[in-house]
């Protein structure tokens, strides 16, 4: 009997191995599309960023660091990089401050009310980003709805500069990216065990202290996930800054488009794009480090 048992023991391992292969086979089409349509062009652009510019072919022969040096030692381009990072950070903070209460309230509701609130939250995603931006043009223009309302109330004497400004871009960004922040925080809040909150209250903590000592620390993974999505999309966005910011608001995505599509300078456009990727990744790593250090645990004293 013992030899038969010994021979049957590898079966679970074989089943597990087969299950793993099935998963990879299901993922294979998506992986091939991702590699062919994203990774390979990105790698080609990265390699091209180390070539000189040729007015005839667009990409010359040889290798050079001139494209990165031209960007890093030019105050104009560094100012555009700082504008892009600042818009991304302001958008992320504004989306977090306004989105966390909305996510918290959404988790507390149930039934038809929650379904309605979720529909209202996701409804902007069903509309084209271009249409939403032009809707903000109507609202933010000098003779738009907001300025006309403020003028009629006597709160301002002349129209505010909302359109074609960083403020207008940030307002449009928050509207576009708000659902991503809320959904990230909702997923984290839903995973909090209600018994932990009840234990905190039983130990004498009030609602405010329970929130800051228990709910907020346990929801930090959702805050990080939502912040990563919002900052990444905001810092690389092209449509919203182009429509709401115009030529007055320069961002990295517009510079990349200008160099690659308008001037056909692929090497320099690739260098600008990868500087943006590097800076965005660095900021996210710093943010992740700070967030991990803030996880001091749940402690009721």
pLDDT of amino acid 260: 83
The domains located in the chain, with CATH, are: 62-293 (1.10.3720.10)
Q: Is there a contact between 241 and 163 (Cβ–Cβ < 8 Å)?
A: no
Q: What pTM does this model have?
A: 0.81
In the predicted model, what is the mean pLDDT of the chain? 84
Q: Is the pLDDT of residue 45 over 60?
A: yes
Predicted local distance difference test score (pLDDT) of residue 15: 63
- Overall average pLDDT of the 209-226 stretch: 87
Judge contact between 231 and 284, C-beta under 8 A.
Answer: yes
- Identify whether the C-beta of residue 129 lies closer than 8 Å to the C-beta of residue 175: no
Is the per-residue pLDDT at 243 higher than 50? yes
Q: What is the mean pLDDT of residues 41-60?
A: 82
pLDDT digits (tens, 9 = 90+) for 91-128: 999 999 999 999 999 988 888 888 888 888 888 888 88
Q: In this predicted structure, what is the pLDDT of residue 298?
A: 39
- Predicted pLDDT of residue 52: 87
């Amino acid at each position: 009997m013992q030899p038969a048992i010994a021979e049957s023991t590898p079966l679970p391992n074989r089943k597990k191995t087969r299950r793993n292969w099935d998963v990879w086979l299901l993922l294979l089409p998506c992986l091939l599309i991702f590699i062919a349509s994203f990774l390979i062009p990105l790698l080609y652009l990265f390699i091209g960023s180390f070539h000189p510019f040729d007015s005839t072919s667009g990409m010359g022969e040889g290798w050079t660091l001139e494209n990165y040096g031209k960007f890093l030692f030019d105050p104009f381009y560094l100012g555009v990089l700082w504008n892009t990072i600042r818009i991304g950070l302001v958008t992320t903070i504004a989306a977090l401050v306004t989105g966390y209460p909305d996510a918290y309230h959404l988790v507390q509701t149930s039934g038809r009310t929650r379904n309605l609130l979720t529909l209202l939250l996701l409804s902007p995603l069903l509309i084209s980003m271009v249409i939403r931006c032009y809707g903000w043009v109507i609202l933010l223009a000098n003779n738009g709805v907001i300025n006309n309302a403020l003028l009629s109330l006597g709160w301002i004497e002349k129209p505010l500069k909302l359109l074609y400004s960083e403020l207008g871009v940030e307002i449009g960004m928050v509207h576009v990216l708000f659902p991503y922040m809320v959904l990230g925080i909702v997923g984290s809040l839903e995973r909090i065990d209600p018994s932990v909150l009840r234990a905190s209250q039983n130990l004498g903590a009030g609602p405010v202290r329970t929130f800051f000592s228990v709910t907020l620390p346990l929801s930090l993974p959702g805050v990080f996930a939502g912040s990563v999505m919002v900052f990444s999309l905001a810092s690389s966005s092209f449509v919203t800054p182009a429509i709401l910011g115009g030529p007055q608001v320069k961002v990295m995505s517009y510079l990349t488009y200008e160099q690659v599509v308008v001037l056909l300078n692929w090497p320099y456009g690739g260098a600008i794009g990868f500087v943006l990727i590097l800076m965005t990744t660095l900021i996210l790593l710093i943010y992740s480090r700070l967030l991990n250090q803030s996880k001091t645990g749940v402690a009721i004293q």
